[in-house]
Structure 1
């Protein structure tokens, strides 16, 4: 793995959606500046990012599940004229 590869991997996610965490990015920039020999730190950073993203995705799926349950209920109430 080349020294620059992690920077290229993360370049595609540089524009993050509102509300997403920005904490790991200064660390990743520092790791890029340091060059090779920090693969363990990159792996740790990526694992933490993966954990946070999975947690956020789970929360969003839970919200979607709730909305999915509510929509038919409101549709039925509306059809019944309530």
Structure 2
């Protein structure tokens, strides 16, 4: 953590981009789309300034998006968080539905990985025995 962060000072859009892995363009998009839980403060010159809380929230958003959460669901989740206490059940419903989708994707990928591993084994075995001719050759 930098000295600025430990004193609670704000971060520039470039610093936040570096910490979150989001581009400056993506950060502006997140703000326009209402994906942040609070308003981004501005300097007197109009430059965006972010807090540690903003960065922490953005890191959660990054993981939710990377895991395939639809933008509409992320917007709704951010809206609920902005509203404050009292809607935790709805937040949990959104997160639980997303978790189920992710678990289904993981199961599907595990099935794919199993087929690929089997096929790699078939090819490796045939090549090791010097019998690769005709392996899945539609012209044979």
Bin for the TM-score computed over the shorter chain: 0.7 to 0.9
Q: 1:12 aligns to what SS in structure 2?
A: helix
| 1:73 and 2:122 are equivalent in the alignment | yes
Pick 1 or 2: higher relative contact order, CA cutoff 8 A, min separation 6: 1
Q: Report which of the two has the higher share of helix.
A: 1
Q: Deviations over 1:8-27 (max 9, x none)?
A: 6784352443x823242111
- For residue 60 of structure 2, the aligned residue among 12, 19, 22 is 12
| Structure 2 length-normalised TM | 0.46
CA distance in 1 between partners of 2:62 and 2:79 (Å):
15
- Structure 1 alignment gaps of length 5 or more: 1-7
Q: Deviations over 1:25-68 (max 9, x none)?
A: 11111111211110110110111011101101101101111111
Which of the pair has more CA radius of gyration? Answer: 2
Deviating beyond 4 angstroms after TM superposition, the runs of 4 or more aligned structure 1 residues are none
User: Is contact 2:69-2:98 (8 Å) kept?
Assistant: no
| Structure 1 length-normalised TM | 0.73
